[in-house]
Amino acid sequence: MTPEQAFCRYEAVRDRLPKLVPSAAQAERIRDLTQIADTVDAFVFDAYGVLNVGETPIDGACERIAELRERGKDLFVLTNAASYCRADTLLKFRKLGFDFTEGEIVSSREVCETFLSRHPEVKLWGVAATEDWTPAEMHVPAIRLDDDPDTYRLIDGVLLLSSAEWSERRHDLLRDSLEAHPRPVIVANPDLVAPRESGLSLEPGYFAHDLQDSLGIEIEYHGKPFPSVYSEIEARLGYGGARIAMVGDTLHTDVLGAQAQGWRTVLISDHGLFAGLDVDKFISTSGLKPDWIAPSI
């Protein structure tokens, strides 16, 4: 999928995303985050396309984080990457060279899992996960969705964590199973795509919206741009609103979700989804206007 195709797909599912009152304000272009550090108390960073691309840190990102920390800013990572458990997520950022603490990392998976108990009717969750995932990672009974049709008949609910091992066959099995027997579907990564070294990968949100299109079912989302993850950040900070700036590379997840929460926003233009493209065109088409645009953090 190209960035243009991903943007069009986000627009096509816009009615399922949080609502936002259009703003007449124009985005201000800045050199980097130091230019707005005096007007913001907390910076919340997306990961892919902002801090790293795939398994590679973006040049200068580690140094900028250290500079903002030295200036006394509250710092968080808010990631929709739901493939990793808490310990592995922290280890991933440490390997990339970042010094975030465990309490400064909020993953959509972590938040999503706190909502599973609200579905007592689900006795066994079917999980779309990576091959190294194990049921022991969950605090509820779960089984990995594989190529065996019997697996899809056993489960009472569906949790989409990762699409790294997802396939057309598994997606067809899930669609057929849900059509025959509707059950709760929860998505811990609402992203349609993610920037990798080799291009854009299709993420769980892409497959979830396909299920909604074909089956007309309701799906529960946790992760940007949906509110539960932003509320978790505010709970940890003890404050919210315009004192917080979300820094991300997408309009329909990072910018839309944060603005719906009353936060300010920074769109990163030189990495991630819009790398090498004219972001003004996408801003104009969508009506989603960040407060600031920066080439990198």
234 and 257 inside one domain: yes
Of 191, 221, 251, the one marking the end of a domain is 221
Q: What is the pLDDT of residue 156?
A: 97
Q: What is the pLDDT of residue 194?
A: 87
151 and 213 inside one domain: yes
211 and 172 inside one domain: yes
Q: Which residues pair with 43 in a beta bridge?
A: 75, 245
> At a CB cut-off of 8 Å and minimum separation 6, what does 242 contact?
262, 263, 264
Q: What is the pLDDT of residue 197?
A: 73
Amino acid 198 reads S
212 and 283 inside one domain: no
Q: What is the pLDDT of residue 89?
A: 85
Is 284 inside a domain boundary? yes
> Where does residue 63 rank: exposed (0-12), middle (13-18), buried (19+ CB within 10 A)?
exposed
Is 69 inside a domain boundary? yes
128 and 188 inside one domain: yes
Is 2 inside a domain boundary? no
Amino acid 263 reads W
Q: What is the pLDDT of residue 86?
A: 77
Residue with tokens 């099995």: 173
- Hey, what are 75's tokens? 């710092």
Q: What is the pLDDT of residue 24?
A: 66
Amino acid 142 reads A
- Residues of the chain where predicted confidence (pLDDT) is lower than 70: 23-24
Domain total in the chain: 2
- Hey, what are 51's tokens? 């801090």
Buried b / exposed e over 102-136, threshold 16 CB at 10 Å, is: eebbbbbbbbbbeebeebeebeebbbbbeeebeee
Q: Which residues pair with 249 in a beta bridge?
A: none
Of 171, 193, 221, the one marking the end of a domain is 221
Q: How far apart are CA 137 and CA 167, in angstroms?
A: 22
Any idea what the CATH number is for the domain that residue 211 is in? 3.40.50.1000
Is 111 inside a domain boundary? no
Q: How far apart are CA 186 and CA 183, in angstroms?
A: 10
Q: How far apart are CA 172 and CA 180, in angstroms?
A: 12
Q: What is the pLDDT of residue 53?
A: 85
Of 192, 221, 250, the one marking the end of a domain is 221
pLDDT digits over 2-56, tens only? Answer: 999 999 999 999 999 999 877 667 899 999 999 999 999 999 999 988 999 878 8
Is 47 inside a domain boundary? yes
> Can you spell out the DSSP letters for the chain?
--HHHHHHHHHHTGGGSPP-----PPPEE-SSGGGGGGG-SEEEE-SBTTTEETTEEPTTHHHHHHHHHHTT-EEEEEE---SS-HHHHHHHHHHHT----GGGEEEHHHHHHTTGGG-TT-SSEEEE--TT--GGG-SS-EEE--S-HHHHHH-SEEEE---TT--HHHHHHHHHHHHHS---EEES---SEEEETTEEEE-HHHHHHHHHHHH----EE-STTSHHHHHHHHHHHT--GGGEEEEES-IIIIIHHHHHTT-EEEEE-SSGGGTTS-HHHHHHHH----SEEES--
- Give me the phi and psi of 82, to 5 degrees please: -100, 10
Range of the domain at 279: 27-80+224-294
189 and 232 inside one domain: no
